Structure 1
């Protein structure tokens, strides 16, 4: 069986798919990952083969990210960006489907070109979630962004020129535990969320007991590049220095110098593997990224979420609703952050609820158990 995985050029979008791709290869199947050319080093760094779905793309120009504390604006901005990204990669993906002839395509929910190319090529496809389901408003914004670039009636791929014209997926894989999922949006075929955070090493300083609680602080691989977001997280790290805690600052090493002088309570800074780091942490403070939330849930670590983009607001709401942590608006001041951190470190209730969600995740079917279902889908179409 040949399986083509398609992804937007973002760590948080691609990394959740890596365990299923590995499981498919381990079962003896051919696997290929298609992504824009500039993202291929990340793909290849996972040990998976990759092929470009487009030439170099200016992600900033296409996505036009607008970090904002306003939920609706964030959803519209991100959705249109995903639609424009699909419009730019569709021709390349259609060519890959024609030439490589996959038996099955697997996409993540914000990568819309793969399902169009699969539908046009008569190939079944599956969608694997990266966490919470996306709201219909994001899909509508993506359709509008796609139409910004593709000319209806002219830029067709085998009679398809709209995102809404694709066939439904043959399999809807859901890595989010049902008790954490957004209500009213349904549940797909459960699959265990297996964290993958890229190639990195745990610093020796984090290998031994520190004598005080360790708090991870991160704004993800993308948001920390925004100056306003970075200023907020500088304040958070500084405020934690007034408490009896240590901080592990997980962020792009190139951005660490922009954080200013790091005080003695910061014991590690740079790319840190959350999957290895979080079992050592009493708490994580972050921006609401899917991979960050899901990895924390997997390890039962309480969370303080301060959202800025798109689905970050939904993750913040669900963290607070389920009691696995708290959320604050981006406009919250230092006092509010300090009070929330102190409350979570002193509150056994959040830790117990987070541990309960972790048990649900651990009981779910591993990606290796899903591979036979992928085989059945591919064989059913080929028969």
Structure 2
């Protein structure tokens, strides 16, 4: 990418981040691109992200009042999804502990950083309401970066969470409206906390939690329009920039030996980088591959790298390995449905078996089904059911054909980092022009 030709276009950018597993690589990719472009970039985030931020060329500040994960060990997780069977209860904990509950502390840390050194622009997470609050208080223009699909449903899309397909009739539209209202009510349980934080800064109360997102001038979706459901009409402030698929820093450049004799199909198994109680699911998947004439590589990730699983000869289990190195020789991916894993597989034209366990995974699985690039399977499926799903994906050539078609669509899109930079710089330029016009 080209450096800025006009030094006056160089931006002082404060990026706000938090350690949520799969949301980290897209933010590190954004940091790397902004620095390479010539912008002055700071990241304020959890200490677990420090080394990656510095390696990307950004300066780093840790959260001091706000929650701060020192590392990526399971013990330091803000919310232990693995111990919470009810997804609504898990969402409540995330809301109370990260998204909204500590909004005042996040905002105070950000305002301190801005007092230390002003910024022309803030880039924040679409889930970190304290960052949005700080932008409103400081009047620094804000761009939200969504690490995957849109949290707020786009026109014609079902509500986020359950993994619905787009509504095709009146009953499904009524279903969507009912679920959307329930989701709104769930967010609004945190409204007293958010309004108390706003009162601390002398701001008027809001009627709904999601109204706080109006403090952002842009929301950039780090997913592909080709992968998403069709959109009736994009809101003007929301833009697709494409998936930012930087591999995590802890991924080994290699670290997997060849499994099998090269004549059998190969599979990659990858579940969350954070602990979602996937131990037993992985054991059933490994047992399923013991029933199949398929060679499999299982990567455990940071959350489970010490997990001991007895595996048959056709299955290799590794704490970490580069998916980019493995995927060119793979015919099927079995995954929880994290956005990065799904889009990386599709970029290589590999179909999937998706076993969603929460967060955005149901919605990613719904899109996999919609585009017929794989099969969605319940995470409680037995080894025999898992083996049957893998066999179905391998035996039905249409899945591979559709996955290769999706790979072609993704390849035809411009570089995601370039699109991200274009949107950020255009937004900053437009804001600067409006400010000068008002001053005149």
TM-score (norm 2): 0.76
Question: How far is 1:250 from its partner?
Answer: 1.3
1:30 paired residue number = 40
1: CA distance, partners of 2:392 / 2:116:
57
Q: Do structure 1's residue 171 and structure 2's residue 181 form an aligned pair? A: no
Q: Do structure 1's residue 181 and structure 2's residue 181 form an aligned pair? A: no
1:319 paired residue number = 368
Aligned match of 1:301 in 340, 350, 360? Answer: 350
1:159 paired residue number = 203
1:271 paired residue number = 320
- Indicate how the Cα distance of structure 1 residues 260 and 47 shifts in structure 2: closer, same or farther if over 3 A, else same: farther
List aligned pairs for 1:19-58, cutoff 5 A: 19-44=29-54, 46=56, 48-54=58-64, 57=67
1:239 paired residue number = 288
Question: How far is 1:217 from its partner?
Answer: 1.2
Question: How far is 1:331 from its partner?
Answer: 2.2
Judge which range, 42-51 or 344-353, deviates more. 42-51
Aligned match of 1:144 in 176, 189, 200? Answer: 189
List aligned pairs for 1:205-224, cutoff 5 A: 205-206=257-258, 210-223=262-275
Question: How far is 1:17 from its partner?
Answer: 2.5
How far does the alpha carbon of each residue in 1:325-358 deviate from its partner, in whole angstroms, 9 at most, with x for none? Answer: 0111122222211110001111211111112222
2: CA distance, partners of 1:253 / 1:316:
23
Aligned match of 1:107 in 114, 124, 147? Answer: 124
Aligned length: 379
List aligned pairs for 1:43-122, cutoff 5 A: 43-44=53-54, 46=56, 48-54=58-64, 57=67, 62-63=78-79, 65=81, 75-81=91-97, 82-84=99-101, 86-122=103-139
2:334 paired residue number = 285
CA contact (8 A) 1:18 1:196 kept: yes
2:18 paired residue number = 8
Q: Do structure 1's residue 258 and structure 2's residue 307 form an aligned pair? A: yes
Question: How far is 1:209 from its partner?
Answer: 7.7
Q: Relative CO higher for 1 or 2, CA cutoff 8 Å, sep ≥ 6? A: 1
Aligned match of 2:148 in 125, 131, 139? Answer: 131
- Indicate how the Cα distance of structure 1 residues 37 and 73 shifts in structure 2: closer, same or farther if over 3 A, else same: same
2: CA distance, partners of 1:319 / 1:78:
26
- Indicate how the Cα distance of structure 1 residues 181 and 9 shifts in structure 2: closer, same or farther if over 3 A, else same: same
**What is the RMSD computed on CA atoms of the aligned residues?**
3.1
Structure 1: which 5+ residue stretches go unaligned? none
- Indicate how the Cα distance of structure 1 residues 256 and 29 shifts in structure 2: closer, same or farther if over 3 A, else same: closer
Question: What SS class does the counterpart of residue 293 from structure 2 fall into?
Answer: coil
Question: What SS class does the counterpart of residue 54 from structure 1 fall into?
Answer: coil
Judge which range, 41-50 or 272-281, deviates more. 41-50
How far does the alpha carbon of each residue in 1:178-226 deviate from its partner, in whole angstroms, 9 at most, with x for none? Answer: 34324668643232323111233122525998332221112211135x2
CA contact (8 A) 2:285 2:386 kept: yes
How far does the alpha carbon of each residue in 1:301-326 deviate from its partner, in whole angstroms, 9 at most, with x for none? Answer: 11111111122111122211221101
2: CA distance, partners of 1:240 / 1:352:
23
Structure 2: which 5+ residue stretches go unaligned? 1-10, 70-75, 152-159, 161-179
Question: How far is 1:39 from its partner?
Answer: 4.1
2: CA distance, partners of 1:322 / 1:256:
32
Question: How far is 1:365 from its partner?
Answer: 2.8
1:191 paired residue number = 241
Question: What SS class does the counterpart of residue 260 from structure 1 fall into?
Answer: coil
How far does the alpha carbon of each residue in 1:351-375 deviate from its partner, in whole angstroms, 9 at most, with x for none? Answer: 1111222222222232224424422
2: CA distance, partners of 1:31 / 1:78:
28
2: CA distance, partners of 1:266 / 1:290:
24
Please tell me whether Structure 1 or Structure 2 has the larger radius of gyration of its CA atoms.
2
Question: How far is 1:70 from its partner?
Answer: 6.0
1: CA distance, partners of 2:375 / 2:131:
36
Question: What SS class does the counterpart of residue 238 from structure 1 fall into?
Answer: helix
2: CA distance, partners of 1:87 / 1:142:
17
Question: How far is 1:38 from its partner?
Answer: 4.3
2: CA distance, partners of 1:216 / 1:140:
39
2: CA distance, partners of 1:352 / 1:67:
39
